[in-house]
Amino acid sequence: MLAKRVSKTLNQLAGKGYTNGQNMTECWMKIVMMSCIGFVRLNHEGRFLISHTHKESLDDVGEEIQSVMKPERTKMQECFQPGSTPVQAGKLHFLYYNMIGCITTMEHEGYSHIEVDFHDTGTGPRVPSRTDYFGFTMATLNENGSVFANPCKGDKNMSTLMYCPFNSLENNSEWSMRFESEEVKVVALGTGWVAAITSLNYLRIFTEGGLQTLPLIVINNNNLW
């Protein structure tokens, strides 16, 4: 009799789709155990009902079951820059790597040395190395240019976004933008646009000339997906 009641309850749960929930094993075990002694049953709508005879003594158990069954909100994953490697003091590491090329940097006392290299040296432009006084920790590149960004390190070194085109007839074609009340978390680069996600969960999109083209987009204001 006990085995039949357990089997029946499990079949009912599976038929209603309750067994597909994440981290629900503890909840199902409690329900099955109580169903074995007649405390809990499923009605035709798939709802759990507690016997009136035992309702008062099981109020705390019912609340616990509901708390387990309530889906938990998933926290947003921490930002990371694709194609980068962890920083190692005094050693070369990648700010970015893709099928076009790579951006590497090595920290020195007070500055860093940045190199941009293309896998196909015959077609890619030759990009001179640069000295980095901003402390860039994010970068990306495509055939037309590269983007760099650094986190905020105080009022004297605010978060900065910089775009550097590879082929340009003008010497002042590079541009940069400083963020006073937010900091860049991730950068991206496409055909004709530069994008940055900031600590305020804003997505800022610019043209290659530095003009912001789209309104700020709130990705999420609760740090939850």
Contact between 19 and 27 (Cβ < 8 Å): no
Q: What is the pLDDT along the chain (225 residues), one digit of tens a residue?
A: 544 554 555 555 555 555 445 445 655 555 555 554 455 455 555 555 555 554 444 455 556 555 655 666 777 677 778 888 888 777 889 999 999 999 999 988 878 999 999 998 887 778 888 999 898 999 999 999 999 999 988 777 899 999 999 886 666 689 999 998 899 999 999 999 999 999 988 899 999 999 998 777 776 655 444
DSSP symbol at 224: B
Residue 55 tokens, joined: 């309702």
210: left (phi over 0), alpha (psi -120 to 50) or beta: left
Task: State the residue for tokens 């980095």.
Answer: 132
Query: Residues spanned by CATH 2.40.128 within the chain?
Result: 93-218
Give 59-67's long-range contacts (Cβ < 8 A, gap of 24+).
61/30, 61/34, 64/30, 65/27, 65/30, 65/31
Half-sphere exposure for 220 (CA within 13 Å, toward CB): 8
Q: What is the pTM of this model?
A: 0.63
**In 73-217, alpha helices (H):** none
Q: So what CATH class is 93-218?
A: mainly beta
